[in-house]
């Protein structure tokens, strides 16, 4: 599970713990090497200074360190980039969960979504980061996937699944968790 632009926050770890409590092994690599930001803009500035490509490459390297195991990849916002790239380009990926973001599938590999990889995309309908281009990309991606699901929740919060941030939405996160666990149950 790749963190969002504010870093590997306590809330990202808490979300991972929900899946661990259900019996899943969840790795949460720190793509920011210890940096955590109180503000989204500060986190995005850090990603820009490191380079978005380098942040994504760190995610790819972290997954490669796990070997050729069957993986379900997940990413929150900025972390959706390496998760989606892995899902589209790595034979070891068996499922993908993209939270709060989706990139046009043409950005990775040949632009196709692997038929054997189920995908879920989760975001809020009035989230200023998700509701535009990301939502269009998500609709296209799930239409191209043999097993694709798009879940759009009411609200304007971007990182609603991180309980360490003011944007946290408990009801939406509970439903998100249930839906992700259903996907994980199908992939096992």
Rounded Cα distance between 167 and 43, Å, is: 15
DSSP secondary structure code for residue 112 in this structure: P
Do the domain assignments include residue 15? yes
pLDDT mean for each 10 residues of the chain (188 residues): 96 98 95 94 94 90 80 95 93 95 94 95 97 95 96 97 98 98 91
Classify residue 3: in a domain, yes or no.
no
Domain for residue 170, yes or no? yes
Q: Domain range for residue 43?
A: 10-187
| pLDDT on residue 132 | 86
Query: Which pLDDT score is estimated for 161?
Result: 98
Q: Any idea what the CATH number is for the domain that residue 54 is in?
A: 3.40.50.1820
Please state, as a whole number, how many other Cβ atoms lie within 10 Å of the Cβ of residue 176: 23
pLDDT for the residue 1: 96
**pLDDT at residue 68, as a whole number:** 66
Rounded to 10 deg, the angle between the 10-21 and 170-187 helix axes is: 50
Q: How many domains does the chain have?
A: 1
């Amino acid at each position: 599970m790749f963190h969002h632009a504010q870093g590997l926050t306590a809330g990202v770890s808490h979300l991972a713990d929900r899946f661990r409590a259900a019996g899943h092994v969840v790795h949460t690599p720190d793509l920011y090497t210890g940096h955590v930001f109180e503000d989204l803009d500060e986190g995005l500035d850090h990603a820009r200074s490191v380079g978005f490509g380098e942040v994504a490459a760190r995610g790819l390297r972290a997954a490669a360190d796990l070997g050729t195991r069957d993986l379900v990849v997940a990413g929150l916002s900025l972390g959706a980039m390496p998760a989606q790239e892995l899902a589209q380009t790595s034979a070891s990926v068996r499922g993908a969960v993209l939270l709060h973001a989706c990139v046009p599938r043409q950005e990775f590999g040949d632009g196709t979504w692997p038929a054997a990889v189920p995908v879920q995309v989760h975001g809020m309908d009035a989230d200023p980061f998700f509701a535009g281009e990301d939502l269009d990309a998500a609709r296209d991606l799930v239409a191209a996937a043999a097993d694709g699901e798009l879940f759009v929740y009411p609200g304007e919060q971007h990182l609603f699944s991180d309980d360490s941030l003011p944007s946290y939405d408990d009801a939406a996160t509970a439903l998100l968790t249930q839906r992700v666990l259903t996907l994980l149950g199908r992939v096992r």
